[in-house]
Amino acid sequence: MSIAAEAARRRTFAVIAHPDAGKSTLTEALALHAHVINEAGAVHGKSGRKSTVSDWMEMEKDRGISVASSALQFEYAPEGHEGEPYMINLVDTPGHADFSEDTYRVLTAVDAAVMLIDAAKGLEPQTLKLFRVCKARGLPIVTVINKWDRVGREPLELVDEIVNEIELQPTPLYWPVGIAGDFRGLAHINDDGEADNYIHFIRTAGGSTIAPEEHFSPADAAEKEEDTWVTAVEEAELLAADGAVHDQELFEQCVTSPLIFASAMLNFGVHQILDTLCEIAPAPRSRDSDAKAVETSTTAIDEVREVTDEFAGVVFKVQAGMDRKHRDNLAFMRIVSGQFERGMQVNHAQSGRTFSTKYALTVFGRTRDTVDVAYPGDIVGLVNAGSLAPGDTIYAGKKVQFAPMPQFAPEAFRILRAQSLGKYKAFRKGLEQLSAEGVVQILRNDLRGDAAPVMAAVGPMQFEVMQARMELEYNVETVTEPIPYSVARRTDAESAPELGRQRGVEIFTRDDGEIIALFGDKWKLAFVEKEHPELTIETLVAD
């Protein structure tokens, strides 16, 4: 099969949402419907909840939340599909706001997003933020209203909220039959906005296996469900009359969002989500080189990398400690173009060095399989690629260099120390590797020294992850101390000396070489900006 044909059957997407919206449960359910696993890993009740296969960190298993992204790959063929099955590359992401940076990196590596919304809570702050990030990046969004088996809000109310809050028009593909808490099935909505099929679900014990389905014509559905079916049809027709029908072009332009109602816990509506992604989600496409790299490079750079060009990939995440027995370091790479072959010699665009890709894996939670060949859209883990960092480009043939990975502005700061001076070497190694992964940003200066660096993060839970992983993976117990700063800004070498003389301001260097000024609070920042307009003080934001 040609590279173009392989790329065409790839669907690479992320699952994103607010915490506890059911992302990891949906990931399990999708894998179950693809027959990758035999039984879902989530069961009713927090006390009986198993960790899902995509959660591999001890903290995730203990708390029942995802704090790191996890990439899963499997084949799936919708019913009636002819030819080769689709290759699904699914990335489950952390929903907690403290891990927004990890989620943002994932969004640079996928072609579409599934946004999960809790039927009872609707659009929550983190959901709103992620919707806007997707829309700003031009990432097509499929909206799934989850937990429809529980008491929740009216479906039309949820649609109105999405339209009003983020100006994204949901277009129903599968509309619920039965109110929230009385989920009987789904009405399939065709391109004319008409309900042309009723899918009735039959519950299974605990929702751990695929829910059987019964299909009914509209006439038979009306006889079976009576007023409940009539209500569903009327609601769908009301939206269709308002223009809320699926249009592929508007979907890919992020103007509309196909809408599906589901219960991931009961496995209701799950294969409909997979079928929809296979049918309408975009396949891998060409990617532009970083404009700055093109301008400054002394060698010729491909300005656009087509999927059929020679191999190129971009690293979007680096993760250590996934296999404690081997203490390895795994760089997750999204393949952008060409055919990847394990063992091939590739070039590192940022350093100009070459290296071999001898150890390449696909990762399913803690399960690893060697990958020999991969194509555009696939996500591959390169083992012990220590020189790689998020945002790096690797390639074969003509040079290409994709845009660097933006970093979020940190809002929380703590000093980190090793409890034992005898662990200093391991402490340094842990800092280096976990900082490269992006667990936290590490800030240093001569005054505090290497033994007491400052951790900078989007939220304080990142500090807990940092300490837990330092202990589990590097056998280093650490303590943290507060530091009297709450605002970070970028500055330069010319402005740093004067800024450092200001009361309530301290200058640091981040691991990537950026000079960072920390201010006591926003009022101190405003005062310094007013008194010294000549100094460089720039906002740290994700572009």
Annotated binding site for GTP: 92-96
Measured over the CA atoms of residue 160, residue 165, residue 170 and residue 176, the dihedral's sign is negative
Strands 505-510 and 515-519: antiparallel
User: Residue 410 gets which letter from DSSP?
Assistant: P
Query: What span, in angstroms and rounded, lies between the C-alpha atoms of 91 and 139?
Result: 14
The structure tokens listed for 209 are 């296996």
- Report how far apart, in Å, the C-alpha atoms of 23 and of each of 85, 103, 117, 285 are: 24, 13, 10, 26
Query: What span, in angstroms and rounded, lies between the C-alpha atoms of 85 and 79?
Result: 10
Q: At what angle do helices 461-474 and 424-437 cross, to 10 degrees?
A: 130
Phi, psi (degrees; rounded to nearest 5) at 446: -65, -30
Determine the 3-state secondary structure of 158 from DSSP.
helix
Q: Which helix (H) or strand (E) holds 329?
A: strand 329-337
Q: Say which amino acid occupies 131.
A: F
Q: At what angle do helices 155-166 and 125-136 cross, to 10 degrees?
A: 60
Closest among 178, 192, 130 to 150, alpha carbons compared: 178
Query: What span, in angstroms and rounded, lies between the C-alpha atoms of 217 and 198?
Result: 6
Show binding-site residues. Answer: 92-96
Q: Say which amino acid occupies 326.
A: H
- Report how far apart, in Å, the C-alpha atoms of 513 and of each of 493, 498, 537 are: 11, 19, 16
The structure tokens listed for 283 are 């396949």
Query: What span, in angstroms and rounded, lies between the C-alpha atoms of 7 and 375?
Result: 6
Count Cβ atoms below 10 Å from residue 119 Cβ, excluding itself. Answer: 27
- Report how far apart, in Å, the C-alpha atoms of 486 and of each of 102, 171, 332 are: 21, 42, 32
Centroid of chain to Cα 269:
22
DSSP class per residue in 48-79:
TPPPPTT--SHHHHHHTS--S-EEEEEEE--T
